[in-house]
Structure 1
Amino acid sequence: MDSRSLLIIGLSLAAASGAAYLIFPYLSGDVRGEKRQAHLLTRGPVARGDRQVDATARRKQVADSLKELEQRNAKQKKRSLETRIAQAGLSLSKQGYLIASCFAGGLTALLIFLLSGNPIFGGAGLVIGGFGLPSVWLSTMTKRRLKKFTLEFPNAVDVIIRGVKAGLPLADCLRIIASEAAEPVRGEFRQIIEAQTLGLSISEAVERMPERIPTPEANFFAIVITIQQKAGGNLGEALSNLSRVLRERKKMADKVKAMSSEARASAYIIGSLPIAVALLVYITSPAYIEQLWLKETGRVVLFACFCMMAFGTFVMNKMISFDI
């Protein structure tokens, strides 16, 4: 045999040997055995990996929901006049509020002008009465309404917890609160039910509550409901934790109020002391103190003192106010 034939036979044997080496494990069952062994060894970790994937997806949904709510709250920081009126629980329209502000500004300017006889003070009274007094009144009404809501809201959450644990749907629990709770909680949950009637989902309807009630409690409730509707979970347990947090916040607020009572009493005394001294001086020596509003220099000094007292009262109020 020549060298060419020997080369062909050698290459054929090498090819046959390589093919046999590759095919033999499949024919003998070694590959199937290794796959089965690998499956048995990794079945537990694979299941745990599935659970980890589910937990990761759930955390991602929660993070996305929180990010959406944060973006919505950031947009709500610039509140319109209609939103402020709604937060105060007033039935006034924007035009009605503006008319009332103009009336208050004109009345204040007229009174100050009649008392001082100075048109500059009358202009200052117009600004104070037209912009300052209505804004302060609106803020006071809003704080009063939010305080009532904060006191009653944990009871409403407890109603939802008991209803969910008893097997009632969440919508039925909301209807119970909308019909039996105290105001302003009843009115807010009634708006949620009305929004559902118009076709919104529960999470979308609840997400509108922090717009009307800008409190951490309402924001927490909207976050819990939104996350539960999107990611699932035990709603009763989540609301139980929320109820506990709300009550602990109330306890902390009461504790802070008790600890700052001395500072608040001092602020009240310091703020009322100039007025009390002025009244006593007027009772004992009216001709002495009348120079403050009879003379031009006295009126300027009196106006400057009023501005400084207002600024000092504002600063003391901020010093004794704590965010919980």
Structure 2
Amino acid sequence: MSNELWLCIVLFLTVALGTLGIYELGSVRRQMNGLYRKLDELHTEEAKASRGTYHRLSLRFKQTEYGRSLEDRLTASNLKRSPLDWLLILTVMWVVLSILVERMMGLGMPYNLLAAYFVTNWGSKQWLKSRSSKFSQLINRQLPEVCRMLSSCIRAGMSVQQGIDIVAKELKPPAGLLFQTMSRELKMGTMLHLVLERVHERFTSKDIRLLTQTIIVQRQAGGNLGQALDHLAKTLEERERMNKEISNQTAESRYIALTLALMPVFLIVVFNMVFKGFIMPIFTVPGMVLVAVVLLLMTVGFLMIRKVSNIKA
């Protein structure tokens, strides 16, 4: 066989194998891209964001004791923000408010910073408390339905864990999101009593605590858990009806208490804007003593009105 024929055969095999290699490389690349897309769908948003520096700092801050405490308060308030996000928001609010206090009330350093810090700290806590209360009330309205669903599951021969999983799938938000979290924790191997204890640690609602404690006590002491949940559903519905009636009857008193508490602050700001330097005598020794007495009397009056009007069934 001549050398020219061998050369042609080698060239043909080289081109054929090279073409086949390029085709196989493209096929493998397409398969890998498809696999990456499927893996990305399985990744949570938190896992995707963890690649960033900011999120790594957020995770470290969340692991601190203050971060865990703040995260529990944000969760109870139904705020989908990390503790670091919330801390940055408060810092921006503190800076902006200190500038407004300096411009509107004429307070210089460090009084404007102290006043802005007090307002930001107190206001943020009260706002989170209000959101937490409203969120708990929304969950409370669904608790009778939750009790009946759990009771039906138990009577059908299911365990409490299986009942929680069914409630998580069938129930609408916001209580549905709460039970979805519980279901995920149970699937990860967390004990039932630990999951229930975490729930009533995050929420201040007495109705939620009553539900969790009923399940814990019935499991430990024995008894008909399905019947207990049916009775609890009727009790919660009656409590909700009575609380609505009481809230309607005491609405005027609560708004009067809030108005009386805010009126002096509003008057001081207005007078200081009209008469420049009106607020400066407050920062003398007699002025601070007078402010302390006024704040004490206002606090006592506000708490007394709130105590009388804040009636729960």
Q: What is the letter of the counterpart of residue 110 of structure 1?
A: I
TM-score where L is the length of structure 1: 0.62
Relative distance call for 1:273 and 1:211 in structure 2 (3 A) is closer
Aligned residue identity for 1:317 = R
Matched, 1:295 2:295: no
Matched with 1:244 is 234
The offset of 1:214, in angstroms, is: 2.1
Q: Does 1:222 align with 2:204?
A: no
Matched-pair contact (CA < 8 Å) for 1:207–1:226: no
Partner residue, 2:84: 95
The match for 1:115 is 104
Determine helix, strand or coil for the equivalent of 1:296: coil
* 1:188 to partner: Cα distance: 1.2
**How big is each residue's C-alpha offset from its partner over 1:170-194, in whole Å with a ceiling of 9 and x where there is no partner?**
3333222212222221111111111
Alignment CA distance shift 1:310-1:86 (3 Å): farther
Q: Deviations over 1:30-60 (max 9, x none)?
A: xxxxxxxxxxxxxxxxxxxxxxxxxxxxxxx
Task: Flag the 1:299–1:143 CA change in 2: closer, same or farther, 3 A.
Answer: farther
Superposed, 1:43-54 pairs within 5 Å as: none
8 Å CA contact 2:105, 2:279 repeated in 1: no
Match of 1:204 among 179, 187, 194: 194
Distance 1:261 1:91, change over 3 A: closer
Contact 1:291–1:298 (Cα < 8 Å) also in 2: no
Return the offset for 1:115: 1.3
Secondary structure of the residue aligned to 1:164 is helix
* 2:73 aligns with one of 80, 84, 90: 84
- Asked if 1:145 corresponds to 2:135, the answer is yes
User: How far apart, in 1, do the equivalents of 2:207 and 2:115 lie?
Assistant: 38
Query: Does structure 1 residue 319 correspond to structure 2 residue 308?
Result: yes
Residue 194 (1) aligns with residue 187 (2): no
Between the two proteins, the alignment pairs up a number of residues equal to 236
Is the Cα contact below 8 Å between 2:98 and 2:113 reproduced in 1?
yes
Give the RMSD, CA atoms, in angstroms: 3.4
Contact conserved, 2:105 with 2:273, CA < 8 A, in 1? no
In structure 2, list runs of 5 or more residues that go unmatched.
1-67
Residues 123/318 of structure 1: CA separation in 2 closer, same or farther (3 Å cut) = farther
8 Å CA contact 2:272, 2:279 repeated in 1: no
Match of 1:105 in 2: 94
The Cα offsets for residues 70-95 of structure 1, whole Å up to 9 and x where unpaired, read as: xxxxxxxxx93222122112222222
Structure 1 segments unaligned to the other structure (5+ residues): 1-78, 283-288
Q: Give yes or no for the alignment of 1:260 onto 2:242.
A: no
Contact 2:164 2:179 in 1 (8 A): yes
Any conservation in 1 of the 2:104–2:273 contact (CA below 8 Å)?
A: no
Contact 1:292 1:298 in 2 (8 A): no
Deviations 1:10-34 (A, max 9, x none): xxxxxxxxxxxxxxxxxxxxxxxxx
Distance in 1 of aligned mates of 2:136 and 2:264: 32
1:166-181 → structure 2 map (5 Å cutoff) = 166-181=156-171
Q: 2:150·2:163 contact (CA, 8 Å) conserved in 1? A: yes
- Which residue does 2:147 correspond to in 1? 157
Question: C-alpha distance in 2, partners of 1:82/1:215?
Answer: 18
Q: CA deviation at 1:314?
A: 5.3
CA separation of 1:111 and 1:308: change in aligned 2, threshold 3 A: farther
Q: Which residue identity is paired with 1:228?
A: Q
